[in-house]
């Protein structure tokens, strides 16, 4: 099962990925936790280029770099782990490119969707947790921490990202679960664990009846 975590800056995705990985391992399941952009040697190199503040990266070049990192991660890490029957948790995936490069940057959504399909070979998550938070609240949480090139975009950019995420959640209601990320970390973790265990049980039931 392939599970992704999405949301704006400062929504707490990384914390929730780690907490879910811990909980599933305690259930005796094998889990691979990874993140985007990154998770491979090539991906981490691309991450440094993409996130370093300053410099000039055009919107289309930016989109291509994000999907290049994803392509490597899918081929090198995600597909092999899924083939071994493991659960893969990924901190960001294709929805980020639609939210940031189509929503935030204003690139054509159908072009971005084609790039994503090419890069992933059509791999899509089984379940996505969208940690939803007002753009200003997320950015405030990140203040004090290190700011990436994308964190430094203006509030309007981050608001367009949120609008696109919520649009994706409306389009794919079976896959994307919207989580109110303004709540305490432990409440969110419990909700995410409960939903994941339910989905895993439903899949196991489906496989048995086939
Ligand atoms: P983070 O994963 O540490 O939050 O940093 C990744 C940054 O890159 C974040 O600002 C979101 C952005 N991003 C995109 O713009 N497009 C993408 O496809 C992905 C994966 C991330």
Centroid of ligand 1 to alpha carbon of 115 (angstroms) = 16
CA contacts within 13 A on the Cβ side of 85: 3
Helix H, strand E, coil C: the string for 73-118 is HHHHHHHHHHHCCCEEEEECCHHHHHHHHHHHCCCCHHHHHHHHHH
Atom of ligand 1 nearest to the CA of 91: 2
**Rounded to whole angstroms, what are the CA distances from 15 to 49, 91, 103, 116, 129?**
24, 10, 25, 26, 13
Q: In what order do the strands lie in the sheet with 176-180?
A: 31-35, 87-91, 2-6, 127-132, 176-180
Q: What is the pLDDT of residue 4?
A: 98
Say which residues have a Cβ less than 8 Å from residue 149's Cβ, sequence separation at least 6: 50, 51, 52, 53, 54, 55, 57
Centroid of ligand 1 to alpha carbon of 91 (angstroms) = 9
Q: Are 95 and 13 in contact (CB under 8 A)?
A: no
**pLDDT by 10-residue block (mean), the chain, 210 residues:** 95 97 98 98 98 93 98 98 98 98 98 98 98 91 80 93 98 98 97 98 84
Q: Which of 28, 176, 184 is nearest to 94 (CA)?
A: 176
Sign of the CA dihedral running 36, 40, 43, 49:
positive
Q: If you take atom 19 of ligand 1, which residue's CA is the nearest one?
A: 96
Q: What is the pLDDT of residue 76?
A: 98
Q: What distance in Å separates the CA atoms of residue 159 and residue 26, rounded to the nearest whole number? A: 37
Q: What is the pLDDT of residue 145?
A: 72
Q: What is the pLDDT of residue 138?
A: 86
Neighbours of 59 (CB within 10 A): 13
Q: Are 63 and 94 in contact (CB under 8 A)?
A: no
Centroid of ligand 1 to alpha carbon of 35 (angstroms) = 10
Q: What is the pLDDT of residue 144?
A: 63
Which residues have CB under 6 Å of ligand 1?
A: 9, 36-37, 66, 91-92, 96-97, 100-101, 148, 150
Q: Are 113 and 98 in contact (CB under 8 A)?
A: yes
Q: Are 67 and 119 in contact (CB under 8 A)?
A: yes
Q: Is the pTM of this model over 0.85?
A: yes
- CATH T-level topology, domain 2-208: Rossmann fold (3.40.50)
Q: Which of 179, 172, 184 is nearest to 194 (CA)?
A: 179
């Amino acid at each position: 099962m392939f599970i992704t975590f999405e949301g704006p800056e400062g929504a707490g995705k990384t914390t929730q990925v780690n907490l879910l990985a811990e909980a599933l391992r305690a259930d005796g399941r094998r889990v691979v936790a990874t993140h985007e952009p990154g998770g491979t040697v090539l991906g981490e190199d691309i991450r440094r280029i993409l996130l370093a503040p300053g410099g000039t990266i055009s919107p289309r070049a930016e989109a291509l770099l994000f999907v290049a990192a994803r392509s490597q991660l899918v081929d090198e890490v995600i597909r092999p782990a899924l083939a071994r029957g493991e659960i893969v948790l990924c901190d960001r995936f294709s929805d980020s490119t639609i939210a940031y490069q189509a929503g935030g940057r204003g690139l054509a959504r159908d072009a971005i969707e084609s790039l994503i399909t090419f890069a992933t070979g059509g791999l899509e998550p089984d379940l996505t947790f969208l940690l939803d938070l007002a753009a200003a609240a997320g950015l405030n949480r990140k203040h004090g921490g290190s700011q990436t090139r994308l964190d430094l975009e203006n509030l309007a950019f981050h608001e367009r990202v949120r609008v696109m995420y919520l649009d994706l959640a409306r389009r794919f209601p079976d896959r994307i679960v919207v989580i109110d990320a303004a709540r305490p970390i432990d409440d969110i973790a419990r909700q995410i664990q409960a939903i994941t265990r339910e989905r895993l049980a439903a899949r196991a039931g489906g496989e048995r009846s086939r």
